[in-house]
């Protein structure tokens, strides 16, 4: 990917023994991570695996049960509200659907953090907003309302808003979800370009293998509350771990089952117990033979995501 100018890069975020969850289920169970400065780090994993939760913990919106999240050496969980608010101004977050303020125009959305937090004059605000909008290619859309622009554009506006205060860290929550191929390519290039041009540190939470592997310096795969793989995209692709293998090849069945745990199909259908046909294995193989159930031999298995 991009050359490392400093080797090894200093960590911007360190996560140590982080545990977070609800009484019955731990979502993150003893996570250790380092996010190096100046790089694009991708956090991947199955849905509901705690990827977005990590972003919320870094932003201080959730409090961990134990462990610590250090941002530039400061423990986010220990900060008082005013300090946390000040620290948040050093990070930007891009929400999944942009989270634009629907009653403000594109221009006012980007100007919002500048007007609220800084004491810049209106003419300065105008210059900064136009620069940021230009960086995402939407200077011409400045007078439109969020309801008048597409989902991909909304996310680019949100990106301009997230970088309005020139943060050190920017977190992307599913930046590629639901985008058409052109917007998707644009978004990916933009993330990489911003990271390198402004010297940002980026964290991407995403499912999209191709785009994410293409732009990330470091990939972290989460599963079952822990980190199962960490390294460059090439290293993760070569990982021997069956879970990681299933993830990077997008196989429908593997350690992560296609079927949600359920009683035997025959029982659910109310069929009488028959030792010849009710065993789950036999039923499954019978369905497989008839082509009704997906299997690891199906042509979809190796297809991945286009």
Partner 1 sequence: MIGFFKQVGQTTRLMLVALGLSYRLFVQMVRLFRPTMKRFRLVSEQMHFLGNYSLAIISVSGLFVGFVLGLQGYYTLQKYGSESALGLLVALSLVRELGPVVCALLFAGRAGTSLTAEIGLMKAGEQLSAMEMMGIDPVARILAPRFWAGVFTMPILAAVFSAMGIIGGWIVGVLMIGIDAGSFWGQMQGGVDVFKDVLNGVIKSFIFGVTVTFIALYQGFEAQPTPEGVSRSTTSTVVVASLFVLGLDFMLTAFMFSL
Binding site residues, partner 1, CB under 8 A: 59, 61, 85-89, 91-93, 95-97, 99-102, 112-113, 116-117, 158, 165
Residues in Cβ contact with 105 at an 8 Å cutoff, skipping those fewer than 6 apart:
142, 143, 144, 145
Tell me how far, at minimum, the Cβ of 37 lies from partner 1, in Å.
20
Between 96 and 249, whose beta carbon lies closer to partner 1? 96
Nearer to partner 1, 95 or 265 (CB): 95
Find the shortest distance in angstroms from Cβ 96 to partner 1.
Answer: 8
Choice between 142 and 161, CB closer to partner 1: 161
Report, in Å, the least distance between residue 98 CB and partner 1. 9
How near is the Cβ of 121 to partner 1 at its closest, in Å?
17
From the CB of 147, what's the least distance to partner 1, in Å? 12
Burial state string for 189-212 with b = 16 or more CB within 10 A and e = fewer than 16: ebbbebbeeeebbbbbbbbbbebb
Residue 42 or 165 with smaller CB distance to partner 1: 165
CB nearer to partner 1: give 85 or 124: 85
Q: What SS3 class is residue 22?
A: strand
As a whole number of angstroms, the distance between CA 247 and CA 251 comes to 7
Measuring CA to CA, which residue among 185, 187, 183 is closest to residue 162?
Answer: 187
The residues, ordered by sequence, that sit 6+ positions from 254 with a Cβ below 8 Å of its Cβ are 242, 243, 245, 246, 296
């Amino acid at each position: 990917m991009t050359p490392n100018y400093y080797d090894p890069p200093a960590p911007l975020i360190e996560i140590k023994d982080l545990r977070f969850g609800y009484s019955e289920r731990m979502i993150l169970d003893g996570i250790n991570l380092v996010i190096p400065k100046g790089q694009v780090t991708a956090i991947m994993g199955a849905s509901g695996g705690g990827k977005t939760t990590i972003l919320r913990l870094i932003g201080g919106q959730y409090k961990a049960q134990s462990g610590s999240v250090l941002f530039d050496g400061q423990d986010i969980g220990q900060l008082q509200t005013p300090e946390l608010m000040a620290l948040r101004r050093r990070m930007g977050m891009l929400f999944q659907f942009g989270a634009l303020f629907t009653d403000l125009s594109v221009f006012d959305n980007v100007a919002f953090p500048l007007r609220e937090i800084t004491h810049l004059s209106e003419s300065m605000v105008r210059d900064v907003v136009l620069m940021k909008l230009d960086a995402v290619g939407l200077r011409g859309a400045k007078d439109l309302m969020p309801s008048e622009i597409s989902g991909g554009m909304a996310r680019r506006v949100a990106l301009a808003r997230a970088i309005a205060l020139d943060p050190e860290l920017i977190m992307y929550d599913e930046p590629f979800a639901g985008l058409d191929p052109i917007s998707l390519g644009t978004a990916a290039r933009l993330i990489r370009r911003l990271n390198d041009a402004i010297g940002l540190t980026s964290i991407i939470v995403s499912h999209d293998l191709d785009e994410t592997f293409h732009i990330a310096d470091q990939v972290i795969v989460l599963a079952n509350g822990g980190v199962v793989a960490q390294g460059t995209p090439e290293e993760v692709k070569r990982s021997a771990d069956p879970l990681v293998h299933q993830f990077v090849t997008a196989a429908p069945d593997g350690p992560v089952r296609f079927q949600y745990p359920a009683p035997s199909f025959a029982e659910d259908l109310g069929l009488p117990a028959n030792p010849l046909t009710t065993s789950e294995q036999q039923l499954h193989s019978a369905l497989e033979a008839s082509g009704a159930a997906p299997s690891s031999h199906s042509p979809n298995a190796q297809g991945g995501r286009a």
